[in-house]
Structure 1
């Protein structure tokens, strides 16, 4: 069954302007650290992202070492962006960070 985002997704979430750019971030963001590694079924990851978006969460936080293993959260979210959020990409904010070593 295809997922369709809730039509009222922006009604209950509070959004705050970020700097002078006009970008609005939700009061709650979803960090994809340990719950988005290879040890979590992909369907569970999809359900988490879909529910978050239905609740007005538009900011997803990633990093190059999120997983486990490192990098797997970014791969999983990339697939979710492609399959579930492709038509909604202009409504989603993705942040990442680097600097923490991924490999020995």
Structure 2
């Protein structure tokens, strides 16, 4: 599987600066620590993560 990220992924949601570093972070995030469990196939989990990435998360 070859993944091609959406070219407009950084235009989809607002970002905020993190402290004085100048680092821009999305206002929302997708936490991945034990998020999906065993009730979803790996392919579904991958689709969720890639869609979030395409939306700028």
Q: TM-score, normalization: structure 1?
A: 0.49
Q: In structure 1, how many angstroms separate the alpha carbons of the residues matched to 2:42 and 2:6?
A: 21
User: Which is helix-richer, 1 or 2?
Assistant: 1
Tell me, yes or no, if the aligned pair for 1:15 and 1:24 is still in contact at 8 Å: yes
**Higher RCO (Cα < 8 Å, 6 or more apart):** 2
Q: How does 1:40-51 map to 2 (within 5 A)?
A: 40-51=40-51
CA RMSD of aligned residues (A): 1.7
Segments of structure 1 that go 5 or more residues without pairing to the other structure are 58-104
Q: TM-score, normalization: structure 2?
A: 0.82
Rg: which structure is higher?
1
Q: Any idea what SS the aligned residue of 2:24 has?
A: strand
Give deviations 1:34-89, integer Å, cap 9, x for gaps.
Answer: 641122210011000000000000xxxxxxxxxxxxxxxxxxxxxxxxxxxxxxxx
Counterpart of 2:2 in structure 1 is: 2
Q: How does 1:11-90 map to 2 (within 5 A)?
A: 11-32=11-32, 35-57=35-57
Segments of structure 2 that go 5 or more residues without pairing to the other structure are none
